[in-house]
Amino acid sequence: MSGADLTSARYARAPLPPLADLSAARLIEIGERLCARAWAAGLPSWFWGEGVCLLGMLRFARARRAPCPDRIVTWLRRRYAAGISVTHVNNLAPGIVALLAAAEYPELAAPATELGRWLHESASATRSSNGALEHWPGSVWADTTFMAGVFLGHLGEYRRDRNLVALFGEQLLAHAETLQDPGTGLFAHGSHRGETIWNYWGRANAWCALSAVEYLELAARATVDTDPSQVRRISESLTRQLSALIALQPAHGVWSVLVDEQPENAGILETSAAAGIGAALLRAAAVIPGRRTDFMTAGLRAVAGALGYVDPAGTLTRVSAGTVLQLVPFGYSVIRDDRLQPWGQGLALHAVAAALEASVGQSAAGQ
C-alpha cells in the first residue's frame, strides 16, 4: 500500500490469552461484573450506546432465565418521564429494549409508536437509491441494520405486523447490496455519496451479523409470517459473511480492528467486534443448518478471546471509540482504554448471554 502509515500497527500490543474457563458459573460472574460496572459508569441518554448496553443486560438476564432486571425497567420509566427526543436512527436502539421488556411490562412499549412514526414520516429518515435507511444523508452505514433494523423487527413481532418484519428484512438486504463485498462476503462500514468505502471494520461486521441473526431467529419463532425467499437470501448473506470471518480469525480469537489485516491496522485488536461476532456465530449455529460445528467452534473462540479483556473492575478494554465512517483505513486505529464504552459492555454481555445459551443447548443435547 503506497504511503501507508504503519506506525500504529508496528507498536500494536501483543494479544492477551483467551479466557480459559467458559463454564456457566464463570460466565455469570463476568456478566454480573460487566453490568455493575456499566451502571456505575452511568447510562445517561436515550441513545445507541445505552441501547446496546441495556439490550446486552436483558439478554444476559434471559440467558439465566431471569425476569427483566428492575434497573432496566426503572431506567425506561425515568426516560419516558423526562421525555424522549427522536432525531436520528441511533435513538431507536433503546426502543429494542423497551419492546422486549414489554413482554413483562406492557406499558413500556408506549414510545414504540413515536419511534416507528419517525422512521416512516421524518424528513431526516432519508433513504438511498435502493431503499437502505441512511445513517446520515448520503451515507449508508452497517450500524443502521442494528439500531433501526432490529427495532423494526421487534416492533413487527410485538404488533404481529408482517409488513414491519418484511421491512426489517428489506433493510438487511438493501444494506448487503451496498456494503457486502461480492468477492469475500465481508461487510464494509459504509458508503459516502453513493460510493462504498471498502474498509472492513470489525464492529460493522458485528452489527450486520447480529442483525441478520435477529431476523432469522424471529423467522424461526414463526410468531409473524415471513417470506421464505427473504429468509433464504438473508441466511445466504450471513453464511457468506461468517464463513469469511472464520477464515480470517486468529488463534487467540480477536480480530484486528479491520478484520482483513489491512497493513495500517494489522495487529491492532478490537474486542467489541469479537464479542459481537462471537455472539452472532453462536446464535447462527442454531438457525443455519449444517454449520453448527464450525460456527460454535469459532464463536466460542471469539467469546473466550474477547472476555479475556474484561478487567477486574468489569470493563471490557480495547474497545474502539464511537466511530464515524472513515474515508481512509488509518482512521479506524483509535482504541479507547481511558474510559468505559457502553457499546463494548453491551456487546460483551451479548457474548456472555450467547455462550450461556450455547452451554444450555449443549447440555440438553448430551442428555
Q: Write the DSSP symbol of residue 317.
A: P
233 band by pLDDT with thresholds 50, 70 and 90 = very high
Contact 278, 354 (CB under 8 A): yes
Q: Which domains does the chain have, with CATH numbers?
A: 19-358 (1.50.10.10)
The span from the CA of 317 to the CA of 270, in Å, is 9
Q: What is the pLDDT of residue 362?
A: 58
Are 316 and 271 in contact by the 8 Å Cβ rule? The answer is yes
pLDDT band for 112, please (50, 70, 90 cuts): confident
**What value does the mean pLDDT of the chain take?**
95
Q: What are 335-348's pLDDT values in tens digits?
A: 988 889 999 999 99
Mean pLDDT for 174-182 is: 98
pTM of the model: 0.97
Percentage of the chain with pLDDT > 90? Answer: 89
Dist CA 225 CA 233 (whole Å): 16
Query: Is residue 280 a contact partner of residue 210, using CB atoms and an 8 Å limit?
Result: yes
Which range among 31-40, 123-132, 355-364 shows the weakest confidence by mean pLDDT? 355-364
